[in-house]
Structure 1
Amino acid sequence: MKKIGVFLCILNCLFLLTGCWDRKELSEIKVVAGMAIDKGENAKYKVTVEALNAAELNTQSASGNAPTLVEGIEGDSISEITHLFNEYYAQLLIFSHMKVLVISEEIASAGRLDFIDFLERNREIRDDFNIIIAKDGKAEDILKIAAHYRKASSLKISPQLDHLLEDWGGDPGMSIINFISELNLEGKEPVLAAVRLKGDVEKGMSTENIRKVTPDAIVEVDSLAIFKNSKLAGFLSLEDSRNYLWIRNDVKTTSLSIECEKGDFSAIRVAESQTEVTSKWKNNKPSIHVGIKAEGYIEGTQCYKSVEELGTIEKYEQLVNKTFSKKIADTITNVQRQYEADIFGFGEVMRRQDYHAFMKVKDKWDKEFAKADVKVDVDFVLRRSGIRSKSFLTETEK
């Protein structure tokens, strides 16, 4: 009996001490930070990857060499291409830490998005990377720009998008699972953030780009890409992107500029916000109401110098309500007229709130959305005025 116990103990230890069957030594792998999809010249796709040179990302071991290696291969299948990169790289590419997927405007406009099936199926690729559209240029160029922050373009773009969403609103934060879901969703069209390369791509590829106070090239968040019927339909401005997020209840904090007197503006910081949308069938067309409740404080002012004066706070609140009710309504109207694409999910809301009415028009919802009555009401409450109640401008005018 004692021998059996010893045998079982040894057997248990063997199971605990077994290694991973698919392990790879660190010296044998290279981490991919970003992937770009362009139209190939001689094939369906051109896939470009940005692979990190780990030694150059470490301040203690950096020697001034290129922080990343960027190469591209053409082919008809994204899956096959990803296994061919040892044409260029000596190490095995690992995609599990990918931060950015860049899709060219040309590919998105043609609706060639079937490669997403591979990205969703692949067990090594996580669902935590940003998907963006490269506007007015090649997707591969976005990955070639040496950046001040962490030196790699992908490692700069990913937090850039996250911080923009957190601090102002401008990136829809679309994961690949959500994007696929919205491509197939009744009553909602998907959107993605769009970026643009500003400057000279050839100069931006050099490590000298990092050493300059004003870089020769930089990647900027430009706008919001609208999809319709699985194809890129057009773009909205960055401010419209913020309005889109506000309607979707995805704005965390943001800053507003309101014209309080002709040529004079005040800055308002929104600290909290809550959006409720109702959508129902009324008078033979959709009737949509967007109600936004928000609160915040004054960040700076060029008029209404003292909030202690009776009625000043109410003036600020009324200005915010009037100004941004109109701006958000204008964004919706623009999308209705120009694209007839319900990116806001009003159809999805109607499906939940007025199911039978929506099912009658779901096959032509975009047409119905285009003629919908939409009302936007912003209810803003000013909680405080910063650390002072009077502007210094009041004192200098005396």
Structure 2
Amino acid sequence: MRRAITVIVSLAICAGLLSGCWSQKELTDLAFIVAIGLDKTEDGKYLVTFQVVNPGNVAGATQRGGGAAGVPVSIYTSTGDTLVEASRKASEKLSRLPYYAHTNLIVVGEEVAREGLSGVLDAMERGNQLRPTAHLVIARTYLAKDVLTVLTPIDKISANQIIKTIEFSSKNWGETVHVDIWGAIHCLATAGRNLVITGVTVEGDLKRGKRQENVQSSVPDARIKLEGLALFKNDRLVDWVDGPSSRGVLWLLDCIRQTNLTVSWKGKKEAINYQVVRAKTDVKAKVKDGRPVISVHIQAEGDVIETRVPIDLSDASMLFQLEKEIKKNLKQEVEEAIETAQRDKTDVFGFGEAVHRTDPRLWKKIESKWHDRYFPELDVTVTADMYIRRTGLRNKPYTPRG
């Protein structure tokens, strides 16, 4: 009898402890926030922008072709002395409970980034809902609020479009990089490396881009565009790099997967297009005369995918000369990126980490002065091996008859 009572009591206790309904939340009571924008007001407070999904309109837009339904997202803003305060005050405008488990994008305004990201990232990391895998971008020229209010075609939710654009661009072009909250925190906590984050801006008429007509036209009045890389020193934004220099940064970070290099040939600019299909960057440090020096070696393979000049690609000597030209262009991009970072006194390449691995005792002595004294004067040697693996179906380009 005692045994039966014990079993019954145990089951009752387990049933109470394992009950899954105590924290239930109805879907109709939740506001699904997919993106957050962070700006500063004129009086120094945080201006937080919430991009909230309108589920019925997103589904309706998919079924009706995109134009007939209402807007897929709604924008709410709130201000506060801290991010948490601004988030709480949003309840004055939202009729539902803010739900951050589906937040995949954080857009940080340039002013906030220049003041420092430490406080921002601390608040995001401590939250029990916000995912540390949420993408992080910096709003350039425009406010983060402006970026999130532009309506986008194809991907109805602009946050999703920004995320997908970063992913595809970083794989195929190599001037952007994916950074999430956890990665940013890890970088800031690592000695000898500074942060690099992709920039995003608005191209076109911002006012018209906020209207539904922007997604009903084959040529939208405004588009969201990735633009440049933000270079940080400690947790503060100090400079931007664009074009080949931004790709040079990513060559040094070993983040290039595929990209294209155009080279001049016999006096004609952008004559031959070389597509990188595989790349690897090795960074090594050594100590010479008591000072650290860095050697960077880049190895890449690729294909010739376009020629605009007469060239015999079946000639091995021609291919060798072409590889030298490609190597020259690559080294120029990388050296420009190094010069920019040294001028800004910010080691975004992780050269300090390489020194730390090579000589921990020396690193302990120079760590406090690395970015301001040693890195700007650092001797960096760049070497590269570029190989042409394929030249396409035609070895000799045809010559149009005059």
Given the two structures, how large is their TM-score scaled by the length of structure 2? 0.91
Q: Is the 8 A contact 1:43 1:74 kept in 2?
A: no
Q: Is the 8 A contact 1:109 1:233 kept in 2?
A: yes
Which of 270, 281, 289 is the aligned partner of 2:276?
A: 270
Q: Which runs of 4+ in 1 moved over 6 A?
A: 1-6
Q: Secondary structure at 2:194's aligned position in 1?
A: coil
Q: Gaps (5+ residues) in structure 2?
A: none
Following superposition, the deviation at residue 129 of structure 1 comes to 1.6
CA separation in 1, counterparts of 2:76 and 2:13?
Answer: 47
Post-superposition Cα deviations, 1:40-96, rounded to whole Å, max 9, x if no partner, equal 234521111110111111123774212111111110121122223222222222111
CA separation in 1, counterparts of 2:224 and 2:253?
Answer: 26
C-alpha distance 10-107 of structure 1, shift in aligned 2 (>3 A)? closer
**Residue 48 of structure 2 corresponds to residue 47 of structure 1:** yes
How many residues end up aligned between the 2 structures? 395
C-alpha distance 314-43 of structure 1, shift in aligned 2 (>3 A)? closer
CA separation in 2, counterparts of 1:283 and 1:373?
Answer: 12
Q: Secondary structure at 2:169's aligned position in 1?
A: helix
CA separation in 1, counterparts of 2:48 and 2:374?
Answer: 39
Following superposition, the deviation at residue 7 of structure 1 comes to 5.1
Following superposition, the deviation at residue 252 of structure 1 comes to 1.2
CA separation in 1, counterparts of 2:296 and 2:47?
Answer: 42
**Residue 368 of structure 2 corresponds to residue 368 of structure 1:** no
**Residue 331 of structure 2 corresponds to residue 325 of structure 1:** yes
CA separation in 1, counterparts of 2:155 and 2:25?
Answer: 25
Q: Is the 8 A contact 2:58 2:156 kept in 1?
A: yes
**Residue 26 of structure 2 corresponds to residue 21 of structure 1:** no
Following superposition, the deviation at residue 363 of structure 1 comes to 0.8
CA-atom RMSD in angstroms: 2.4
Following superposition, the deviation at residue 289 of structure 1 comes to 0.8
Q: Secondary structure at 1:98's aligned position in 2?
A: coil
Q: Is the 8 A contact 2:137 2:198 kept in 1?
A: yes
Q: Is the 8 A contact 2:247 2:333 kept in 1?
A: no
Q: Secondary structure at 1:114's aligned position in 2?
A: helix
Question: What is residue 63 of structure 2 aligned with on the other side?
Answer: 60
CA separation in 2, counterparts of 1:127 and 1:217?
Answer: 30
Question: What is residue 114 of structure 1 aligned with on the other side?
Answer: 119
Which of 363, 373, 381 is the aligned partner of 2:387?
A: 381
Q: Is the 8 A contact 1:30 1:52 kept in 2?
A: yes
> Any residues of structure 2 matched to 1:223-242 within 5 Å, and which?
223-242=228-247
Q: Is the 8 A contact 1:294 1:381 kept in 2?
A: yes
Q: Gaps (5+ residues) in structure 1?
A: none
Given the two structures, how large is their TM-score scaled by the length of structure 1? 0.92
C-alpha distance 386-43 of structure 1, shift in aligned 2 (>3 A)? same
Q: Is the 8 A contact 1:285 1:371 kept in 2?
A: no
Following superposition, the deviation at residue 6 of structure 1 comes to 9.0
CA separation in 2, counterparts of 1:10 and 1:125?
Answer: 35
Post-superposition Cα deviations, 1:294-331, rounded to whole Å, max 9, x if no partner, equal 10111111135331124222122111112211221121
C-alpha distance 93-310 of structure 1, shift in aligned 2 (>3 A)? same
Question: What is residue 181 of structure 1 aligned with on the other side?
Answer: 186
C-alpha distance 309-112 of structure 1, shift in aligned 2 (>3 A)? closer
Q: Secondary structure at 2:63's aligned position in 1?
A: coil
Q: Which residue type is aligned with residue 129 of structure 1?
A: A
Post-superposition Cα deviations, 1:133-169, rounded to whole Å, max 9, x if no partner, equal 1111211101000001322221111111111111111
Question: What is residue 254 of structure 1 aligned with on the other side?
Answer: 259
CA separation in 1, counterparts of 2:316 and 2:160?
Answer: 50
